[in-house]
Structure 1
Amino acid sequence: MPSDLIVFGEDWGAHPSSTQHLVSHLKRDRRVVWVNSIGLRRPRPTLRDIGRMAQKLRAMGQTTMPTAAGEPIVLNPRVLPLPGNPIARSLNRRLLAGRLRAVMAERGLRRPVLWASLPTAVDVVGAIDERAVVYYCGDDFGSLAGVDHDAVTVLEAELAERADLILAASTRLAEKFPAHKTRLLSHGVDAIGFQQPLPRPVDLPTGKPIAGFYGSIANWLDVELMAEVASALAHWDFVLIGPVQTDVAKLRCLPNVHYLGAKAHGALPAYVQHWQVSLLPFRDSPQIRACNPLKLREYLAVGKPVVATDFPALDGYRAIVQVASSAAGFCEAISVASLDLPDGQHGDDFGAGIRSWNDIRALARPRAERQQQVVGESWETRAGQVAAWLDDL
């Protein structure tokens, strides 16, 4: 019988993380207790942090029981968000372990697998009679913005030492951990969800081709590059979807750059389906070199052309992604991608070669190739592999 799971992750039901995608499949044949996010740093006196603290305080101590078969029990833990403070860590361990043991006794869970997607969960290791410990590393916490790096690096090293199995979302992340217990687990994709035809969103601009990006608009987005590209391609509209968490003054002054705000994950396929080119304009940084963005496979599942700056997670996809390292190269790549043609097969006279339906099908081939690339990369497939690893523990 599959082992039950105690999962320490981001807040359940928020914008779905890779952990939530995986657990959504794993929970179909095992019981899951999901512990909402434990802070990775001390809160700061900013509006964003104050709002986040207020939300956490309102939910603190609440437990959401499943309303349907297969849904997880969700705990909002009583903890102090001070990962570098030994007194806070000791208190958090007692509070968390006590609450989890009570829920386990109430629901009849015995010797579950403890799954940690956040290094702060290490303080509970050994306190709930878990059968095994899994560390799922989806980010480079040592370079992640808004994290207490010194404290989290220590916690992660301790968690990696005590884990029985480490799952790493990218090759760069896997290289940090002992090879004998580390497995590469690349992100998956809900291809069917992204390919289901949807009507055009009413807030998309009209009249020009659109190059779009969705995700957090944070310091890893190359704002300067985007400003140069948007200025040079005034006949294009550029759409950015997601919360703004960095200075975007250089973009806000451009009339062809549009901010549509944060959207529910389920709404995103409609936007990608109705713009012409999908963008991954990242800065080069340790965080980006270690990342494996979910949106890469989601973009490809829709089939629209993708233009990106260079980063290691593109390995295996470079034949179907336009990669550029400068503003001029990015502009050219967008123009080429918008024609849906491979390099060397574009230009003002490209239409002269179209004489039959076979020629039109040949032009459409890159779209099918992009979609085909992610056929075997569903979250269900990824979760099946994880389930096999869990059974071997």
Structure 2
Amino acid sequence: MKNTGKTPLVVFGEDWASHPSSTQHLIRKLMHEHPVIWVNSIGLRRPRISWRDINRLFTKLFQILRGKGKAADATDRTTDKPLEIIHPIALPLPGNRLASWFNARSLSRQVKQTLAKHGLANPVLWLSLPTAVDVVGRCGESATLYYAGDDFSALAGVDHDAVIPMEQSLAAKAQAIVAPSPVIADRFPRDNTFIIPHGCDHSLFSTPQPKAKELKDGKPIAGFYGSLDEWLDQDLLIWLARSLPDWKFQFIGPIKTDLGALLSLGNVEFLGVREHHQLPSYVQHWSASLIPFRDTRQIRACNPLKLREYLAAGTPIVSTAFPAVQKYSDHVAICNDRENFRTALQDCLIDEPVDRSARQNRVRSESWEARAHDMQVLIEALHFASLTQNAAMESSTPDKNCSFSNG
């Protein structure tokens, strides 16, 4: 991407191109208008003695030694990338005072050096991770925006005792907070919290794609893609697979919990991870798309990206009940027990083309372009307000005993 001359963004998120998060979807659109410096994740918990964590630590170390921006794009096959990707020199020890002190100085130094390299100044800081809170006020920023994409107080895999106080501190420092759902927004002050729901890549998922090679045997297929984690209702899925032996149950995504009992069933298939752009070749041809979530605090706060992507693909959708899905109850079969879920799956086999079109039209206006436009309006307002306030302060000559107040 080029330096467009518009408000620079410094984004603290997960590792670039690691998975298609809402932050990355939005930034990919905003990059066409704003120069973006992306800072890879500094973690939401302390590393454990596990192969996964050890491998991640060595990967991070290799990226730092190799140099800023050079290794981050290895998994990103798209042409749109940030102006630069920073591999943070930071200690993944949320809640540790020494680590916070070191990280604040190290990260702010990296950010300021990168901004200077590209001739940028007065960026808006966009923090999607509370663990970056210590950089606020240290990067010469015009404003700080907290993108609260998840309820970190309920999110699995987070060091809650350390991260929640950091999130509270960030909420107090940020000029604006953006949440994708009312459930998350209710956790923050109303006067500077904005709800901007998730979007979808409508064009990608609605444009007809050839059937993936794994979909050739002719059986009805109930499919799911996303992280295969503890929030999936395995008991429900096992019961469905056993009670519908003529159906195939197909799963796409990384396995992050024990799925041994489900995997052992003959009509259950795990395909592993697929690139985001490959998903329409599957979901468009499934007989039904599944959202089989358990009822947990995390799920009650979630607003899954796959919900709108399923709708854009036009495939019938069968889901368990949770708040975010209720908005689409006219186009999603929402089930409160396993018998209703099975019946809803069977009803998917008599789906009509007009129903497919209705689902696609339901989310046509909910594109990432539309959501990015809303974000851009907010970003420019924050930037302009800050610069205007600073200019007013610099042009005044207050008495030495006076003080400024927001009150």
- Normalised to the residue count of structure 2, the TM-score between the two structures is 0.89
CA deviations 1:90-141 (Å, max 9, x no partner) are 1011110111111111111111000000001111000011000000011111
Partner of 1:64: 69
- Read off the aligned partner of 2:259 and give its amino acid letter: V
Q: Do structure 1's residue 368 and structure 2's residue 372 form an aligned pair?
A: no
Alignment of 1:286-305 (within 5 A): 286-305=297-316
CA distance in 2 between counterparts of 1:301 and 1:69 reads 23
Partner of 1:258: 269
CA distance in 1 between counterparts of 2:345 and 2:16 reads 36
Q: Secondary structure at the match of 1:60?
A: helix
Q: Secondary structure at the match of 2:214?
A: coil
Q: Secondary structure at the match of 2:346?
A: helix
CA distance in 2 between counterparts of 1:389 and 1:207 reads 49
- Read off the aligned partner of 2:200 and give its amino acid letter: V
CA distance in 1 between counterparts of 2:24 and 2:83 reads 11
Alignment of 1:201-350 (within 5 A): 201-204=212-215, 206-340=217-351
Indicate if the aligned counterparts of 2:320 and 2:334 stay in contact, CA closer than 8 A: yes
CA distance in 1 between counterparts of 2:134 and 2:198 reads 27
Partner of 1:49: 53
1:205 Cα deviation after fit: 5.5
1:157 Cα deviation after fit: 0.3
Partner of 1:377: 366
Partner of 1:22: 26
Q: Greater shift after overlay, 46-55 or 188-197?
A: 46-55
CA distance in 1 between counterparts of 2:91 and 2:215 reads 42
1:337 Cα deviation after fit: 2.3
Indicate if the aligned counterparts of 1:28 and 1:70 stay in contact, CA closer than 8 A: no
1:364 Cα deviation after fit: 2.5
Q: Do structure 1's residue 75 and structure 2's residue 86 form an aligned pair?
A: yes
CA deviations 1:350-376 (Å, max 9, x no partner) are xxxxxxxxxxxxx42221111111010
CA deviations 1:193-225 (Å, max 9, x no partner) are 112222221123613100000000000111111
1:79 Cα deviation after fit: 0.7
Partner of 1:111: 122
Q: Secondary structure at the match of 1:278?
A: strand
Partner of 2:132: 121
| Count of residues in correspondence between the two structures | 371
Partner of 1:38: 42
CA distance in 2 between counterparts of 1:195 and 1:364 reads 13
1:338 Cα deviation after fit: 2.6
Partner of 1:351: none
Q: What is the aligned counterpart of 1:2 among 1, 6, 10?
A: 6
- Read off the aligned partner of 1:104 and give its amino acid letter: L
Give runs of ≥4 in structure 1 deviating > 2 Å. Answer: 65-72
Indicate if the aligned counterparts of 1:216 and 1:243 stay in contact, CA closer than 8 A: yes
Q: Secondary structure at the match of 1:64?
A: coil
CA distance in 2 between counterparts of 1:191 and 1:245 reads 28
CA deviations 1:37-91 (Å, max 9, x no partner) are 1110001112222222222121125312799787431011111100110100110
- Read off the aligned partner of 1:38 and give its amino acid letter: I
Q: Do structure 1's residue 144 and structure 2's residue 155 form an aligned pair?
A: yes
CA distance in 2 between counterparts of 1:141 and 1:70 reads 27
- How has the CA–CA distance of structure 1 residues 135 and 221 changed in structure 2, closer, same or farther, with 3 Å as cutoff? same
Q: Greater shift after overlay, 261-270 or 69-78?
A: 69-78
- Read off the aligned partner of 1:370 and give its amino acid letter: R
1:3 Cα deviation after fit: 1.1
Partner of 1:389: 378
Indicate if the aligned counterparts of 2:28 and 2:80 stay in contact, CA closer than 8 A: no
CA distance in 2 between counterparts of 1:237 and 1:276 reads 10
CA distance in 2 between counterparts of 1:133 and 1:217 reads 33
CA distance in 1 between counterparts of 2:80 and 2:64 reads 25
- Read off the aligned partner of 1:368 and give its amino acid letter: S
Alignment root-mean-square deviation, CA: 1.5
- Read off the aligned partner of 2:378 and give its amino acid letter: W
Indicate if the aligned counterparts of 1:189 and 1:294 stay in contact, CA closer than 8 A: yes
CA distance in 1 between counterparts of 2:321 and 2:21 reads 23
Gaps of 5+ in 2: 74-78, 383-407
Partner of 1:92: 103
- Normalised to the residue count of structure 1, the TM-score between the two structures is 0.92
- Read off the aligned partner of 1:75 and give its amino acid letter: I
- Read off the aligned partner of 1:15 and give its amino acid letter: H
Name the % identity: 48
